[in-house]
């Protein structure tokens, strides 16, 4: 479930919802969250959805999104090293270790999250040999 879908679930009578950024506090949540009643976009108020109701879901989504970004980057880096693993070439131990470290990134990055700026944080990428 995406963040705007969660807002629709939490707000009675909402046909749709949107976030114009990633909120980091109650103050920013009420500035960034809007719902659509079928006619107009309206700001979310604390009577419809509180920050404390939405924040746990936001943290869960940031972790999910972080892992998605991490896998995308990892897959790109692995694809860029596929030439190392062609059948007529022998990989060095360092190349094997690098590719294995890339494959293990998701399980070795439990602190991966999305920062307030939308960037992936909490991940240490292995250095290419």
pTM of the model: 0.66
Domain parsing of the chain, residue ranges:
3-49, 61-121
pLDDT one-digit tens code per residue, 73-101? 999 999 999 999 999 999 999 999 999 99
pLDDT one-digit tens code per residue, 41-72? 999 998 888 999 888 888 888 888 899 999 99
User: Using only C-alpha atoms, what is the Rg of the chain?
Assistant: 20
**Per-position b or e across 60-83, b if 16+ CB within 10 A of its CB:** ebbbebbbebbeeebeebbeeeee
pLDDT one-digit tens code per residue, 99-120? 999 999 999 999 998 887 778 9
């Amino acid at each position: 479930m995406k963040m705007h879908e969660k807002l629709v679930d939490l707000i009675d009578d909402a046909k749709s919802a949107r976030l114009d950024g990633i909120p980091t506090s109650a103050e920013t949540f009420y500035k960034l969250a809007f719902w659509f009643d079928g006619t107009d976009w309206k700001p979310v108020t604390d009577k419809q959805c509180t920050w404390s109701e939405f924040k746990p879901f936001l943290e869960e989504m940031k972790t999910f999104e972080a892992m998605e970004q991490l896998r995308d980057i990892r897959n790109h880096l692995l694809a860029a090293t596929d030439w190392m693993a062609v059948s007529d070439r022998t990989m060095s131990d360092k190349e094997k270790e690098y590719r294995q470290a890339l494959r293990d990134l998701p399980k070795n990055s439990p602190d991966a999250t999305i920062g307030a700026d939308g960037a992936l944080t909490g991940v240490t990428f292995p250095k290419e040999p």
